[in-house]
Structure 1
Amino acid sequence: MTDYDYDLFVIGGGSGGVRAARIAATHGARVGIAEEYRYGGTCVIRGCVPKKLFVYASKFSEEFEDAEGFGWSVGERGFSWDKLVAAKDQEITRLEGIYRRNLERTNVEVHDSRAVLEDPHTVRLLSTGQTLTARYILIAVGASPNVDNSVPGMQHVITSNEAFHMTEFPRKVIVAGGGYIAVEFAGIFNGLGADTTLIYRGEEILRGFDMDLRTTIRQEMEKKGIKVILGDAFSAIEKESDGSLTGNTKGGKSLAADQIMFAIGRNPHTSDLGLEKAGVEIDRIGAIKVSADSRTNIESIYAVGDVTNRANLTPVAIREGHAFADTVFGNNPWTVDHSLIATAVFSQPEMGTVGLTQEQALERTPNLDIYKSSFRPMKHTLSGRDEKMLMKMIVDADTQKVLGVHVVGPDAGELAQILGVTLQMGATKADFDRTIAVHPTAAEELVTMREPTEQLRG
């Protein structure tokens, strides 16, 4: 039997890689892990965690205004970008320390280095040149922001990575993209006081989500003062003598800004990883091809998380890492079900969604009952803010099984979590109907919608 340095070596210290390393170690495996930047990965260091902290910060501008409708007199107020960034950095440092300590507590050997593949059982640490061998190798290096290098002047723009570390807050900003990252950052910049524009080449933002939600979010963004340009994209970025930027678009527009941020998607972080040396297959965008149990075409090499481009969400990566460790080292084989994943978009207003969109449901069954309710949240009856909440339920008319539930409004992400449990259990419309409402809440609409607003029959 070949003597390896480790039973498992993990390349990448993000959420999926750390979970896999820890669980494998608790199963008795000798585990090593390498991370070239900071432990915690994109989500913790420069993704969902700092982003949500920024979302919280950006909401205070409206909270101050809304308070007056409830009898409060709010005095002088101001915002310090430097203080926000410093507080965020302190929290991220704390979280990274927890990730590192959790690895050490389970006796995982930590290597602060970029690691690349040399062959199916060997990795090389670039910081020292040291080579290490392992019976199994897990790749969990995630993805990185995509930029369109065909656009002249791309060296002048930032991505979400740099947005968390800007030395100055821009007075005028343009966000390019229409996905959840672009939409969330447009809300952040706008809420913190920047003159904000979102430009997207598609016909509507948030492609892949239910169309009613997409339209609602865009309309609410525009109410908040965000300028949304659809069906257009940048053709060139110019830097002026005073340091400001001008973005020229394919549609003939010339847009001035202090900062331009590109959020046009993320690509698997697989370049220069040594995949070709080990014989690992990738697809056309560089994602590692894997089976349902996260195994690559090489028997000893697995991959989890965004690098596989299956469902690019942190909790999914964590589940995939856990399933891998249990399967390979815990004598408990199982795989992750990617078919029903609850998720949230921290747009303003927030979106929570689980299950099929109306468009996806129609591809499976022609007979649908659509339940939809749009109303002003109770809070805004006194604040006076013109903001609507939307709840939508998609039901199979033949079986009455709930296929999808979609919510736009305050705490929609929190609702999505528990809604994910109900749909995972196969809830029917009757299950919702016989549930007593919690009053007064917005969520009670989910159990009081009795008549479909639309009946689709094939």
Structure 2
Amino acid sequence: MQKFDALVIGAGQAGIPLAKRLAKAGLSTAIIEKRVVGGTCINDGCTPTKLMVGHAAVAHIVRNSSTWGISVASPPTVDFKTIHEHKQQIVNSFRGSAQRGIEETEHLVLIEGEASFTGDKILEIRLKDGNTEQYTAPLIFINAGCSMAIPPIPGLDQVTYYTSTSLLDLESLPETLVIIGGSYIALELGQLYHRLGSKVTVIEQAPNLLPKEDNDVSACIKDFLEKEGIQVFTNARVDLVEQEKSSIRVRFTEQAQGGDAKKNNSFADTTSGSAQTEVTGSHLLIATGRKPQSVALQLEKAGVEVDKNNYIKVDKYLQTNVKGIYALGDIKGGPAFTHVAYNDYVVILKNIIEKQDWSIEGRLIPYCMFTDPQLGRVGLSEKQAKEQGIPFVTYTLSMERVARALETGHTTGMMKAIVHRDTDKILGAAIIGEQGGEVMTVLQMAIQAGLTCDAIRWGMFAHPLYAESLNNLFMEQGKPSTSS
């Protein structure tokens, strides 16, 4: 059995910097990776998808150039093979840089294999050559992440389908792409493939796309996706998927909303207020959520507790119920974002290496969906404020009233802020618009600083920026919450 001062399971966006800092602090450290260095973000998440979003944006601008009074000689064509090669080149570059960083760090060893616990702080690693080795350390950090959750849809095991990981491996553009799921990953991928030339259909079982968001935010996003040409079904239960030669048929029941059960390729059931609908596609993407990669770790042999969904339980310092074993990133549950995982690393660093007292409690977690326009979100939504019984007012501003948006032709979207009714402090915001994530970050910092909306209302911003219209957002009359 080989002994180290620290073992890190998973070479993702928390595991790599943590392992390097532990090693630089003089601890003999091993980082264990079963697939490839870099985790989801570099290999099949942020890096490749945002690169492809960039390509799709160029295709969209060229295709619609006449809007700006610019004409092209002929309809644009998309060289998907070149896009795929560019994506893979950047992924390989980032991955290679991450791996070299590990290999060049003194006191740090990279072990390629799959880890599982066999006892108290004892790991067995099944190496890629099939052999096994055992390791132990007083400190163990689990950054093993999540994988796609596949729902029990009848017929799914009989058809060829893709996940957000395997879809990115395609070297040719899908002719027609059917997406089951209507949240962040589904919508980003749906729009980018639509803009590159695929015919896209999105099927979501909840009444709204992005069911965690406020209804007006979800409605705004659904509206601009449909106007762009993406077919969207909500409140739809998938009943069956079937392979039909080179295509896949998806049958689902769409519950009527607002008394309307009529859609293309459907027939209405007037007794139940629903419609039985079917669509076909050359490719099927399953984007219905993720699950923690904790079962294979055999955590029970180390006495580590998990919740009912197999997420690892941690305290405010990210330590599990077993002293010396910590969990970081997606595998511990909560918002599954790269920046959350990285901040988890910072908390561990501050406490273990620098002997400080940092906690994950009360963290303000921003996020951005990279559709075009973007959705930038931070703090409380209107739904959450109501659920918590907080007295609040809402401020909204259409992007059609933002000077910079009018000047650049990016008038799709809205700004929305939630403000405490009594203290006037900003509680949360949703920005749908060009550079929405950047504008959201302005309000994130205002929330962190404890600023009131008055400070933003009368503050001076450079003209003409999108952020400048935060002045105008708070010039509007706040709408009081109905629950207060």
> For 1:76-225, what aligned pairs fall within 5 Å after superposition?
76=74, 77-107=76-106, 108-127=108-127, 128-154=131-157, 155-225=159-229
Check whether the contact 2:399–2:433 (CA below 8 A) recurs between aligned residues: no
Between the aligned partners of 2:465 and 2:431, the Cα distance in structure 1 is 14
- Tell me the equivalent position of 2:309: 285
1:18-74 deviations in Å (ceiling 9; x for gaps)? 122122222221110010111110011101111111111111232114433444332
The answer to whether 1:358 aligns with 2:382 is: yes
Matched AA of 1:454: K
- Tell me the equivalent position of 1:26: 24
> For 1:37-436, what aligned pairs fall within 5 Å after superposition?
37-76=35-74, 77-107=76-106, 108-127=108-127, 128-154=131-157, 155-241=159-245, 243-251=246-254, 252-365=276-389, 367-376=391-400, 381=406, 387-436=411-460
After the TM superposition, which of the residue ranges 32-41 and 152-161 deviates more from structure 2?
152-161
1:111-159 deviations in Å (ceiling 9; x for gaps)? 1212222222221220131111111111110000111134322442111
Identity %: 28
The 3 A distance-change label for structure 1 pair 366 and 132 is closer
Contiguous gaps of at least 5 residues in structure 2: 255-275
In the TM superposition, residue 4 of structure 1 has moved relative to its aligned partner by 6.8
Check whether the contact 1:121–1:134 (CA below 8 A) recurs between aligned residues: yes
The 3 A distance-change label for structure 1 pair 320 and 382 is closer
Matched AA of 2:114: R
TM-score by length of 2: 0.89
Between the aligned partners of 1:381 and 1:201, the Cα distance in structure 2 is 35
The 3 A distance-change label for structure 1 pair 402 and 382 is closer
In the TM superposition, residue 365 of structure 1 has moved relative to its aligned partner by 4.5
Check whether the contact 1:396–1:403 (CA below 8 A) recurs between aligned residues: yes
For CA contacts below 8 A with separation 6 or more, give which structure has more relative contact order.
1
Contiguous gaps of at least 5 residues in structure 1: none
- Tell me the equivalent position of 1:455: 480
Check whether the contact 1:17–1:140 (CA below 8 A) recurs between aligned residues: yes
After the TM superposition, which of the residue ranges 176-185 and 333-342 deviates more from structure 2?
333-342
1:171-218 deviations in Å (ceiling 9; x for gaps)? 111111121011111111111111111000000011222322111111
Between the aligned partners of 2:373 and 2:436, the Cα distance in structure 1 is 9
Check whether the contact 2:7–2:29 (CA below 8 A) recurs between aligned residues: yes
The 3 A distance-change label for structure 1 pair 6 and 325 is farther
In the TM superposition, residue 230 of structure 1 has moved relative to its aligned partner by 0.7
In the TM superposition, residue 255 of structure 1 has moved relative to its aligned partner by 1.0
> For 1:433-444, what aligned pairs fall within 5 Å after superposition?
433-444=457-468
Check whether the contact 2:153–2:238 (CA below 8 A) recurs between aligned residues: no
Q: What SS is found at the alignment partner of 2:132? A: coil
Matched AA of 1:136: L
Q: What SS is found at the alignment partner of 1:222? A: helix
The 3 A distance-change label for structure 1 pair 383 and 416 is closer
Check whether the contact 1:4–1:135 (CA below 8 A) recurs between aligned residues: no
Q: What SS is found at the alignment partner of 1:126? A: strand
Check whether the contact 1:68–1:383 (CA below 8 A) recurs between aligned residues: no
The 3 A distance-change label for structure 1 pair 213 and 311 is same
Output the aligned Cα RMSD. 2.0
The 3 A distance-change label for structure 1 pair 418 and 384 is closer
After the TM superposition, which of the residue ranges 362-371 and 343-352 deviates more from structure 2?
362-371
Runs of 4+ with >6 A deviation = 382-385
TM-score by length of 1: 0.94
